[in-house]
A and B are shown apart, each in its own frame.
Chain A
């Protein structure tokens, strides 16, 4: 309930560094897609995508600098999404 309204200002440099990271990861994921890793194709692609998403969330969306309420509710949302997908597989995978 802090009344102090302090905004964290991210410098252009930091934002640009994040962008560079994102572009690099994009190139990596495109590059990797030409290599057939068998089973690992999907996990690798999703791991890279998740890393990119995390970067966007933490820096572009300032999640790193938000209070507990936003952080935890965000985690709860992702948790619910994970349940939606995994619990459905209990049906589909064992049919």
Chain B
């Protein structure tokens, strides 16, 4: 297969050269890499801002910044991490790169729309930067933009929500592209039950992106209208109902949580069987639970609003429904663990990160039930308990799945191998730092420390201080992983076609893949996780030794 020319050396469309070959490309792989650099930039920035916020909170009173800057900083951290990192990260990078390859296609269905989505993403990011430096400065509302504050604050909310609006559109169009691609471009031999689980999770995610994102679009448009025209749709003085804003906001933003976590679960479902050398346990259950999460996740939005003053009936119903979502999530966790049971496990940075994912996600999921139950939620609502919970799910879950995906697919994307030792050290630092960072927040929350506050009572100081220390260790670990990956460009240790022994189609094409992905027509297996050939191969090698 060495005769194939990698996509790095084949511009698409063919007549483009130099930078233009990237900036005007229709190739899903180039676009994926362009997303990757942008996402990594925003992620690093968001992480540094988060670390500054934690540094500020390490001691009582003013530590490094004033209260005004602090408010803008946590808002910026939230907006960047939600709209610029976690929503696009896995679908736009790994989805764009591997979804077409996993289903035996040469590109996504709408390649030009794909390019357009990338520009929307970049434009949204640019608007966020502009809103930072113009007018009265970045929004200080928190990423939720709750009325009435978001309508009355002097800060630059209109521009900030426009950025979110455009980023939402980019995410929606990516979803549109994926659904159409899965429906229309699958290899003829691939039925629905032969689709790899990563693609399944992206398919489920895509529907949520399509159906939920417009709700936030219209909500954000209404915030701008309120600011410009003072219509009063959410203003009680003029007959409006501010709680309806929260309904509309969470109608998107709760399903959005599943936009964030589902692709991460898909990554884990790919990695676990490969390094266990064993067919995944419960393929259909995992594929089905992706769809079940997408559907059930759309029914539970008001569990963010137990203390908002909405009716007790809806508190009761939404609390009940919230527990439903736990079922498909648990199905996945049990399936992953069962896959490893009696497998021949081979340790690898990607697998280690996946195991961290399972642990951290489980803690995050179970504390979610504490919050989903209305009784306990009222005690810990809007405290650090909530902050710790969603960081366990979003960062411990999706974030670690993102790192795992980077380590799993890096050799395929660039054709080079990274150093394992540094990857392990980085992963362990990140995980240990993570626990020191967020576990104290659970305790702080139960003790009653409210979130988003600039200052706190003396009894919370030790918890905040240790959270800050953990944060530094975690950020060090993450940057070590990134540094290690980037160093692989220098050493350029070549990676083989199938370094891990994977069975899905991306491991049958050269690393990095050629222009239209496949050198010879793809051979679709009856069952995507059939390791019999891989195991037989490795036994043959062992026999020779």
Can you list 30 residue pairs at the A/B interface with Cβ under 8 Å?
Answer: A1-B184, A1-B188, A73-B207, A76-B211, A77-B211, A83-B298, A83-B299, A84-B251, A87-B299, A87-B301, A87-B302, A87-B317, A88-B247, A90-B302, A90-B313, A90-B317, A90-B318, A91-B243, A91-B247, A91-B302, A91-B310, A91-B311, A91-B313, A91-B314, A92-B241, A92-B311, A93-B311, A94-B312, A94-B313, A95-B310
Does residue A69 face the partner (Cβ distance < 8 Å to B)?
Answer: yes
- Considering only CB atoms, which chain B residue lies closest to A70 in the complex? B183
Interface residues of A: mostly helix, strand, loop or mixed? Answer: helix
> Which residues from chain A sit less than 8 Å from chain B, CB to CB?
1, 69, 73, 76-77, 80, 83-84, 87-88, 90-95
| B293-336 interface bits toward A, Cβ cutoff 8 Å, 1 = contact, 0 = none | 00000110110000000111110011000000000000000000
Cα of A94 to Cα of B302 in the assembled complex, Å:
14
* A69-B183, A84-B251 known; A90 vs B311 contact (CB < 8 Å): yes
Q: How far is the CB of B192 from chain A (nearest CB, A)?
A: 11
Q: Which residues of B contact A69 (CB under 8 A)?
A: 183
Contact partner of A94 (CB less than 8 A), chosen from B207, B299, B301, B314, is: B314
- In the complex, the answer to whether A80 meets B310 with C-beta atoms within 8 Å is no
Cα of A80 to Cα of B314 in the assembled complex, Å:
18
Q: Which residues of B contact A91 (CB under 8 A)?
A: 243, 247, 302, 310-311, 313-314
Q: How far is the CB of A54 from chain B (nearest CB, A)?
A: 21
Q: How far is the CB of B249 from chain A (nearest CB, A)?
A: 12
Q: Which residues of B contact A73 (CB under 8 A)?
A: 207
- Considering only CB atoms, which chain A residue lies closest to B312 in the complex? A94
Q: Which residues of A contact B318 (CB under 8 A)?
A: 87, 90
- In the complex, the answer to whether B211 meets A80 with C-beta atoms within 8 Å is yes
Q: Which residues of A contact B244 (CB under 8 A)?
A: 88
**Most chain B Cβ neighbours within 10 Å, of A1, A76, A93:** A1
Does residue B443 face the partner (Cβ distance < 8 Å to A)?
Answer: no
Cα of A95 to Cα of B186 in the assembled complex, Å:
49
Q: Which residues of B contact A84 (CB under 8 A)?
A: 215, 251
Q: Which residues of B contact A93 (CB under 8 A)?
A: 311
Cα of A84 to Cα of B300 in the assembled complex, Å:
11
- Per CB-CB distance, the 10 closest pairs between chain A and chain B, nearest first, are A94-B311, A94-B313, A90-B314, A91-B314, A91-B310, A95-B311, A91-B311, A80-B211, A88-B247, A90-B317
Q: Which residues of A contact B243 (CB under 8 A)?
A: 91
Q: Which residues of B contact A88 (CB under 8 A)?
A: 244, 247
Q: Which residues of A contact B310 (CB under 8 A)?
A: 91, 95
Cα of A57 to Cα of B244 in the assembled complex, Å:
30
Cα of A69 to Cα of B186 in the assembled complex, Å:
14
Cα of A87 to Cα of B315 in the assembled complex, Å:
11
Interface size (B, Cβ < 8 Å)? 23
Cα of A74 to Cα of B122 in the assembled complex, Å:
31
Q: Which residues of A contact B314 (CB under 8 A)?
A: 87, 90-91, 94
Q: How far is the CB of B32 from chain A (nearest CB, A)?
A: 25
Cα of A28 to Cα of B298 in the assembled complex, Å:
37
Cα of A93 to Cα of B317 in the assembled complex, Å:
13
Q: How far is the CB of B429 from chain A (nearest CB, A)?
A: 42
Q: Which residues of B contact A76 (CB under 8 A)?
A: 207, 211
Q: How far is the CB of A3 from chain B (nearest CB, A)?
A: 9
11 other contacts beyond A80-B211, A84-B215, A88-B244, with CB at 8 A cut-off? A69-B183, A76-B211, A83-B298, A83-B299, A84-B251, A87-B299, A90-B302, A90-B313, A91-B302, A93-B311, A95-B311
- Considering only CB atoms, which chain A residue lies closest to B185 in the complex? A1
- Considering only CB atoms, which chain B residue lies closest to A81 in the complex? B211
Give the residues from 202 to 224 in chain B that come closer than 8 angstroms, CB to CB, to chain A. Answer: 207, 211, 215
**Most chain B Cβ neighbours within 10 Å, of A73, A91, A93, A94:** A91
Q: Which residues of B contact A83 (CB under 8 A)?
A: 298-299
Q: Which residues of A contact B299 (CB under 8 A)?
A: 83, 87
Q: How far is the CB of B297 from chain A (nearest CB, A)?
A: 11
Q: Which residues of A contact B186 (CB under 8 A)?
A: 1
Q: Which residues of A contact B311 (CB under 8 A)?
A: 90-95
Q: How far is the CB of A60 from chain B (nearest CB, A)?
A: 22
Q: How far is the CB of A9 from chain B (nearest CB, A)?
A: 23
- Considering only CB atoms, which chain A residue lies closest to B309 in the complex? A95
Q: Which residues of A contact B298 (CB under 8 A)?
A: 80, 83
Cα of A3 to Cα of B317 in the assembled complex, Å:
46
Q: Which residues of A contact B215 (CB under 8 A)?
A: 84
Q: Which residues of B contact A87 (CB under 8 A)?
A: 299, 301-302, 314, 317-318
Cα of A92 to Cα of B242 in the assembled complex, Å:
12
Q: Which residues of A contact B184 (CB under 8 A)?
A: 1
**Most chain B Cβ neighbours within 10 Å, of A73, A84, A93:** A84
Cα of A87 to Cα of B313 in the assembled complex, Å:
11
Q: Which residues of A contact B313 (CB under 8 A)?
A: 90-91, 94
Cα of A87 to Cα of B318 in the assembled complex, Å:
9
Q: How far is the CB of A87 from chain B (nearest CB, A)?
A: 7
